[in-house]
Structures are given as C-alpha cells and as structure tokens.
Amino acid sequence: MNWYPWLSAPYRQLVGQHQAGRGHHALLVHAIAGCGDDSLMYALGRWLMCQRPNGDKSCGECHSCRLMLAGNHPDWYHLQPEKGKSSLGIEPVRQIIEQLYAHAQQGGAKVVLLPLAETLTEAAANALLKTLEEPPEKTYFLLGTREPANLLATLRSRCFYLHLPVPDEALSLRWLHTQQPGDETAMRTALRLNGGAPVAALALLEPTIWKQRLQLCQGLQQAIPQRQWMQLLPLLNHENVDHRLTWLCALLLDAIKLQQGVTTALMNLDQQPLVHQLASTQATLVLQQQLEQWIFCRHQLLTTVGLNRELMLTRQLCLWSESFPPAV
C-alpha cells in the first residue's frame, strides 16, 4: 500500500487519539476518490493490529505485521461488493459479525475495513448497526465514504467522522513531479479535472489515458466547425466511457465559466483554444442544457444495467447536433 505525504497529519491525529485512550472504535473517513483514504485506513489498521508498535508506527516485524504485509491476516476483514456487483448485501455482513464475536485468532485486535460504506444495502447497514454500537472487545471498524449523506443517519452517528480534504495544489504538484516529471500545465489540468485529488491526477497522467483525453479534445476541435458530431462516437464509445464523458462535461463547464468571466476556475488549462471555441458557439443557457444532457447520459450509462452504450451515445450526439446552428 502506497503512502502519501498529506496523510501524515491525519494519521498522527488518529493514532494519537488511540494512544491517549480516546480512539473511537468506528472511524468514518470522508474523501473524494484519489486522495489516498484507503492508504490512511490501511495504515491505521496495521498500527491497531501490530503487537509491538514503535510510537505511531507499526513495527513491520511482529507476526501480525508480517501477516498484514502478506495480505492474509485472519483478523483483518475486508468488506466489499462481490465482483460485478455494485452493492454489498446482508449475508457477508452477517458472516463477518459472527466471526467478530469469536476470539481473535492472533490474540490481538480485529479490524473490519469497508472502503465504500455507501455500497451497503439498507438491510446490510441495519445489520451492522448493533455491532457498531456495542462492538466486541478490541474490535475496530474503518469505513470510507464518498457521499456521507447517502449513509443511514444512524450509521453515521455511531462513527467518528474524519474529513480528508484534498491537499494544497502546490503540495500536490511537488508530489506529482516526484512521481512523473513532466509539463506543469498538464499536471495542473489533471489535478483540476479530478477535484484536486493527486492520486487520481497521477492516474489520468498515465500516458495511455492522457492520450485518450487529448484525442477526444482534438476530435471535438475538428468536429465543431463542420458540425460533424458523429465523428465523436468512436472516441466516446469505450469501456471507460464515464471518464470520457467527464472530460467532455469539463470542457462544456469551462466554456460556461469563460462566458461568465470566471477564468481562474478553468480546469482544462492545456485546452484554452478549444474552450474558447466552445464558448463562441452557443449562448450560456444552451451550453448549460447541453451539459445537463451529457451528465444525465453519463448517469444512465453508469446506473442502468443492460443499456446499449453505442445507441445512448448516438442519441445524445443527435440531440447535441440539433442545438447547434448549421455550419457556415
């Protein structure tokens, strides 16, 4: 598991609370994707399970640490949806709860990691409530969430809430330079397209992914003058269509910001000519309608099982073409 410099302060805060006897048995970490919340929870879990912690660090040498490093600690429980499913049902939760009331196999702490608590079905969340309220001795829950409002209020109230903010842009840029030296404008763009999340920005800057984004931008730049929208279909119709539509929506949003004079908040810093091109084609109200349509299209593709992706994109491109004046 990777470690990131912006996690050190919240990690020391959490460990310090446990060292002072004030640590909560259930932690709820709120962060956007790509901030390293999974690494923070893993590190805290390792410290809680370490048999000979060295201050605020796990020793890395005891039997418990070696089992954690090997990924097969019997008292570490990782709750997540089965492959191909988007929700976590009641049965795996019940199975883990039953094991929690047995004696720890290594004689130390038992830790349950639930990276995305919002994947719990209502029945599964309710099944977890009593154990969260009155856990067995030396049992800890580490929960992550992207949207706390989507969780049961009763579940949130039983946890210690920690918001993990995105780091300062300057710190993120320094870290990105150490990981993948390159053009700073591209790095700033990647950060802003991911809400400031450095790990997600690094994933976007991966050459293959970055090239896909640039190809979409080039395709859009070529399509606008002649209104040849269907040439965007092969650029959008891929397995990572959610990312590609996010890039497209970010360009439309930047065009709206440009029209409103909010230039300091632009995301696509490396695509200024394209943003100006989009901003000159339509009135703000029309751009807003287009943006809403593409956001809805993305939402449907992500949430509706069995939807024909190509037909959905074709329909949306047809709707988009109708909102543009004919080419001169």
Question: SS3 sequence, the chain?
Answer: CCCCHHHHHHHHHHHHHHHCCCCCCEEEEECCCCCCHHHHHHHHHHHHHCCCCECCECCCCCHHHHHHHHCCCCCEEECCCCCCCCCECHHHHHHHHHHHCCCCCCCCCEEEEECCHHHECHHHHHHHHHHHHCCCCCEEEEEEECCHHHCCHHHHCCCEEEECCCCCHHHHHHHHHHHCCCCHHHHHHHHHHCCCCHHHHHHHCCHHHHHHHHHHHHHHHHHHHHCCHHHHHHHHCCCCHHHHHHHHHHHHHHHHHHHCCCHHHCCCCCCHHHHHHHHCCCCHHHHHHHHHHHHHHHHHHHHCCCCCHHHHHHHHHHHHHHCCCCCC
Task: Give the pLDDT confidence score for residue 243 in this predicted structure.
Answer: 96
CB-CB neighbours of 105 under 10 Å: 12
pTM as predicted: 0.90
Domains within the chain, CATH numbers bracketed: 5-163 (3.40.50.300), 211-322 (1.20.272.10)
pLDDT tens for the chain, residues 1 to 328: 789 999 999 999 999 999 999 999 999 999 999 999 999 999 999 999 999 999 999 999 999 999 999 999 999 999 998 887 888 999 999 999 999 988 878 888 999 999 999 999 999 999 999 999 999 999 999 999 999 999 999 999 999 999 999 999 999 999 999 998 889 999 999 999 999 999 999 999 999 999 999 999 999 999 998 888 899 999 999 999 999 999 999 999 999 999 999 999 999 999 999 999 999 988 999 999 999 999 999 999 998 888 999 999 999 999 888 877 665 5
Q: What is the pLDDT of residue 105?
A: 85
How many whole angstroms separate alpha carbon 120 and alpha carbon 122? 6
Give the integer Cα–Cα distance in Å for 58 and 328. 67
- Cβ count near 63 (within 10 Å): 13
Which pLDDT value is given to residue 241? 96
Question: What is the per-residue pLDDT for 325?
Answer: 63
